[in-house]
Amino acid sequence: MYVGTLSFDILLGDVRSLKEKRSVVRPIVAELHRKFAVSVAEVGDQDLYRRATIGVAAVSGDPGHLTDLLDRCERLVAARPEVELLSVRRRFHGEHDD
């Protein structure tokens, strides 16, 4: 079993309130979940209206499939015109990790 996680640090465009922030972040979270069947949530910077941290997690029996899935998730977020992807942190845990 292999577990992969991504943590996206994103800067939101012209957002002036937490309500506007939700209107940008929620569709990204929903699309990642719908398209790729991954677990995804806003996991940080909830009190800042121009920043968001989105976490993604997936489990697979094949490390190649998991790597490809995480790559596609990253490309989807990076391609969103309403956000700027500041950084991505990727973690990969395999069967032989302690």
pLDDT digits (tens, 9 = 90+) for 38-64: 999 999 888 888 999 999 999 999 999
- State the CB neighbour count (10 A cutoff) for residue 79: 9
pTM for this prediction: 0.88
pLDDT tens-digit map of 17-31: 999 999 999 999 999
Using 50, 70 and 90 to split pLDDT, how confident is the model at 94? confident
Query: Per-residue pLDDT for 98 more than 90?
Result: no
Query: Per-residue pLDDT for 37 more than 80?
Result: yes
CA distance 48 to 78: 20
For residue 42, give the amino acid letter.
Answer: E
Six token digits for residue 74 = 């990253």
Residue 55: name the closest of 44, 34, 40 by CA: 40
Query: Per-residue pLDDT for 97 more than 80?
Result: no
